[in-house]
Chains A and B, each alone.
Chain A
């Protein structure tokens, strides 16, 4: 069975500070990994994804994440937080085999303090 753990359901950072949102996963086969963002009263939209190849992936709005197989992690970072980054962020894992179940973490609400 696959699972996702997001450490910290709420994270607060100052505007201009580093954003680090943690995600650890478990999967019995090589995973596909995703970060989604949800702005208030909206659906989820893709920030970035890892499928194969380069382990450091860049997404929209200056976010990036690094797939570390040895640590089973896929942490999301952004060097400098903007007020517009305030949202809820979800990490998700999808099995790369024929079984297409997707599992989401519980989400991390990011607060950006002026």
Chain B
């Protein structure tokens, strides 16, 4: 089954404690992206990756890091989380070519930073 998986689904942590949210897709997609969803603000792109070892900032990259060492994985790293990073996070992937340009989303990770 084609899917995007994220782990963990729920996470409560404290300010300053480094964490990683994993994202994996099994569709051989080149493009992967991270979003955060906040009430009244919709989805805002944090980082995206066009392919292995190619990443770029989205609209709200401050406080986040990403890496793309393998095509299927695109982890999101919060080196020193702060309460304003409490949010619902989504990973997504898509092809870069043809008509298959829509994104496939993971189920989301709800992060609370206290």
Contact = CB atoms under 8 A, between A and B. Distances in A.
B90 A100 contact: no
A43 interface: yes
Contact of B108 (A9, A34, A43, A104): A43
B33 interface: yes
Interface of A: 6, 9, 32, 34, 36, 42-46, 49, 51, 90, 94, 100-107
Contact of B102 (A43, A46, A103, A104): A46
Contacts of B103: 34, 44, 46, 102
Contacts of A51: 99, 101
A88 to B, nearest CB: 9
A72 B113 CA distance: 40
B102 A106 contact: no
Contact of B101 (A43, A44, A49, A105): A49
A100 B96 contact: yes
Interface in B37-80: 40-45, 48, 50, 58-59
Interface hub of B31, B42, B48, B90 (most chain A Cβ within 10 A)? B42
B106 interface: yes
